[in-house]
Amino acid sequence: MKRLFTLFILLSSIIFSNCQVERKSVAIQDKDLNSKLDEVIYQASNQYKFMMETLPENRFPKTYHADQDKLETSNSGWWCSGFYPGSLLYMYEQNKDVELLVEANRIMKVLEKEKFNTTTHDLGFMMFCSFGNALEIAPDESYKDVLIQSAKSLSSRFDEKVGVIKSWDSKEGDYLVIIDNMMNLELLFWASQETGDPTYRDIAIKHADNTIKNHFREDYSTYHVVNYNPKTGGVNKKHTAQGYADESAWARGQAWGLYGYIVMYRFTKDEKYLDLANNIANLILDHPNLPEDKIPYWDFDAPNIPDALRDSSAGAIIASALFELATYVDKSASKKYFHNAEIMLESLVSAPYLADPKTNGGFILNHGVGHIPENTEVDTPLTYGDYYFLEAIKRYKNHVKSI
């Protein structure tokens, strides 16, 4: 009996020691990546200061053409306009570099007029990624006013009969809705919380529920575009605009869907949204065409895999989404999601994705893919890729702090 007890103690000691070693190795790994991310934020800040030297006063960075050494910019009405100030604010949160905050405040004054823009569904991207982040850093009533008006403008694109927010204006008889639109619902939830008016929340829920009904296939991949009949609310057609084919799984579309339904669960705690987010996440992570470094090809069904282009922006969005999803699920799923997101982040902070200093027009990430069918922004930096990359870093570092 005494021998058995002694053996039990010995085995317990070994198991405990192994667990301690495993925990220590994970902590060391986190510490190493966390330290590298500090360097990346410093480098990213210098990149954006480099970009600021060539950015026209009232323009917003869009992409960079290396073959022409040309920074492509947009006006404030372009759907990506909020990502530049949002990225500056994410970096400022990390390193308190006042120069970044000053620039963010300057460009948001140019952006502010878009709060009245009723011609786009992208006001969540444009205004919440900018003024929403600014509000987190420094509570300001003027920021709240901008966001509430933006929510009103976005809501004007909702049609009760169709039950969704129109994405793109088109010819008569079309009512076009893209999966990207799920990313704009966060603004509406915020507006309901801030004003006490449930209308914004109700619109977001109706849009999300009808998107579940009409956008997703049996395997939980999503169509890019659904064209509704504005008179009946029925579906005219399901197709793609930026993916390889109508029935293919365009990588960034899957990323928007994943991120959007995680946001839906965050605000509603409705399990159906969490279930869908889990299913989308597992579709992505278990897909046979997901590369070893976890940065997806631009379309999971691209015909020339493994030679197809990667999309660093899709990788950044997925990584950021998975870091949040990992906080809502059981231990086993959480470990899977966090581990994969960590691999994605480690890939993005390394070659060939992370740009060298004073290259890439000042953008942080290489190898984004915007719109291959129209041959625009193909294998270039993308402003939203940088934004969600910085958000993924923030979420990872917050996790490390909580350990």
**Active site members:** 122, 180
Sequence-ordered alpha helix ranges (H) in 171-233: 185-195, 199-215
Q: Angle at which helices 331-348 and 2-52 pack, to 10 degrees?
A: 40
240 carries a ligand binding annotation: yes
The DSSP bridge pattern shows strands 368-371 and 225-228 to be unpaired
The DSSP bridge pattern shows strands 175-178 and 235-239 to be unpaired
Contacts of 399 by beta carbon, 8 Å cutoff, 6+ apart: 323, 338
Return d(Cα 37, Cα 62) in angstroms, integer. 24
Give per-residue burial for 372-394: e unless 16+ CB within 10 Å, then b.
Answer: beeeebebbbbbbbbbbbbbbbb
Beta strands in 169-320 (DSSP E): 175-178, 225-228, 235-239
DSSP secondary-structure letter at 196?
A: -
Dihedral angle of Cα 177, 182, 184, 187, to the nearest 10 degrees = 130
φ and ψ at residue 70, rounded to 5 degrees:
-130, 125
256 carries a ligand binding annotation: yes
| Residue type, position 95, single letter | N
Which among 128, 249, 99, 96 has a CA at the least distance from the CA of 193? 128
Q: Is the CB of residue 92 less than 8 Å from the CB of residue 101? A: yes
Return d(Cα 117, Cα 100) in angstroms, integer. 26
219 carries a ligand binding annotation: no
Return d(Cα 372, Cα 72) in angstroms, integer. 17
Which among 48, 46, 58 has a CA at the least distance from the CA of 84? 48
180 carries a ligand binding annotation: yes
Residue 41 structure tokens: 């934020």
Residue 400: CB atoms within 10 Å: 13
Sequence-ordered alpha helix ranges (H) in 53-161: 83-95, 98-111, 123, 133-137, 141-155
Indicate the annotated binding residues.
122, 180, 240, 252, 256
Residues in binding site for substrate: 122, 180, 240, 252, 256
